[in-house]
Amino acid sequence: MVKGFIWLTLAYGLSQFYRACLAVFAPVLDVEIGLGADQISTAVGLWFLAFAAMQIPVGWLLDHKSPRMTAAVMLALGGGGGAVVFSMAQSELSIYVAMIMIGIGCSPILMTSFYIFARLAPRERFGTLAGLVLGLGSLGNVAASAPLSFALVTIGWRASMLVLAAVTVLVALSILRLVADPPRVVRDHTAPKAGLGELLRLAPLYPILLIAMVSYAPGGGLRGSWIGGYLSDVYGLDAAQIGTATIYMAFAMIVGSLAFGPMDRVIKSRKLIVAGSGILTTASLTLLWVSAGTWPVASVVLLFMSVGFFSSSYPQIMNQGRTLLPENLMGRGVTLINLFSIGGVGLFQIVTARLFARVDHSTDVMAAPYGAVFATFAVALVVGLSVYIFSRR
């Protein structure tokens, strides 16, 4: 299980890299292909929506087929193939297609890990293991900051993506060789078939699905696209400075995942952990909104880091949801929660991109369209928390 854990974590690191790399690619894609901030956000949103759309079929594959084979084949064909398409892109459509392919390729990785943990690990260890995968895998988020900026300067963006394609295929082959499938669940073929309908009849699951949809969206969305444009347009930072700022936010998200994973051993109420993190994320977003580009850049970067840290409560959201799931629906259950989490990021990226394009972009009020983005994330969190806080513990 240890070797499998290592390679699945590396694969999740690639997933984190791909979802965050456009924040650093943004300046060069603007110059060479003409992609603006709203188109970059749309491309990131398409990655998340493609990822989310695959969660239900991935869940079925985990419950019925080989998790190892599912992860390896999809990562090689979708992730590796999409990176090749990206390297040859000549238009925004090419970037959109590449990001959709990569989103599909990355879609089974994290859920394969969670499925194996849920089946093989002690229940009290699930949150810690989930946090470790999320935290260590988020080093891919770090690689998609200053190290990527260095690669762009050294070998160019097209060569960088070809290298990533080769690494992605290598990791997929290692998963195929070194990850072990858990024992198959023995099914009672005389009993009625269980499926998505049974999951949707679990009423206590709905508040968890809602909070999953809005909790990670600010961190994933801001880190994936908006931080780069904001620091460039409002504060005039160059690519190297943006790379440094994004690496700070990436480290904050890593520390958050590692901290939230085992937190239920200290704070016994998972609901309190999730609600508290949501409230603090909302406060950070509100401060970004009201700062309107007038605060020192160091203070603003700290606020981005705060959003990244407190929006990383996903291990406890999944931990709480997992306790409601029957064994024979574990794969589809964890992927349903993940669908709402990842789908929320994609949905809000599309919404904020459209909103951003509609707000006044004159030079003297350049902070205004970004303020609308921060406000949208904050309002969504308030709505989600209003339902989640008053749900049954």
Is residue 189 scored above 60 in pLDDT?
Answer: no
Q: Is residue 364 predicted with pLDDT exceeding 60? A: no
- DSSP per-residue codes, 343-381: HHHHHHHHHHHHHHHHS---GGGTHHHHHHHHHHHHHHH
Residue spans per domain, the chain: 2-182+199-389
Q: What is the pLDDT of residue 194?
A: 56
Task: Output the CA angle 182-188-190, nearest 5 degrees.
Answer: 155
Residue pair 144/17 in contact by the 8 Å Cβ criterion: yes
Q: How confident is residue 123, by pLDDT bands cut at 50, 70 and 90?
A: low
CB-based contact 33:91 (threshold 8 Å): yes
State the pTM of this model. Answer: 0.75
For 6-52, what is each residue's pLDDT tens digit? 888 899 999 988 887 887 787 788 888 888 777 887 888 888 889 88
Quick one: what percent of the chain has pLDDT higher than 70?
Answer: 92
pLDDT the model gives residue 2: 63
Higher pLDDT, 117 or 86: 86
Check: CATH 3.20.20.70 for 2-182+199-389? Answer: no
Output the pLDDT for position 191: 47
Q: Residues 2, 5, 7, 9: is their CA dihedral positive or negative? A: negative
Distance CA 33, CA 164 (A): 20
- C-alpha closest to that of 112 among 322, 321, 330: 330
Looking at residue 286, what is its pLDDT?
95
What proportions of the chain, in percent to the nearest 5, are helix, strand and coil? 80, 0, 20
Confidence bin at 195 (pLDDT 50/70/90): low
CA–CA gap between residue 89 and residue 43 (Å, rounded): 13
Read off the amino acid at residue 4: G
Q: How confident is the model at residue 1 (pLDDT cuts 50, 70, 90)?
A: low
pLDDT digit string (tens) for 242-280?
Answer: 878 888 998 898 888 888 878 877 888 888 999 999 999
User: In the predicted model, is pLDDT for residue 186 greater than 60?
Assistant: no
Q: For position 279, what pLDDT does the model report?
A: 95
The mean predicted confidence, pLDDT, of the chain is: 84
Q: pLDDT value at position 334? A: 80
Residues 344-383 as b or e (16 or more Cβ within 10 Å = b): bbbbbbbbbbebbeeeeeeeeebbbbbbbbbbbbbebbee
* Stretch 350-374: mean pLDDT: 79
Q: Computed from CA positions of residues 143, 28, 346, 170, in that sequence, does the dihedral angle turn out positive or negative? A: negative
Reference 99, options 49, 30, 141, 138; nearest CA is: 49
DSSP class of residue 183 equals P
What is the C-alpha to C-alpha distance for residues 363 and 352, in angstroms, rounded to an integer?
Answer: 20
Least-confidence region, from 68-82, 187-201, 215-229: 187-201
**What is the pLDDT averaged over residues 365-376?**
84
CB atoms inside a 10 Å sphere around CB 17? 25
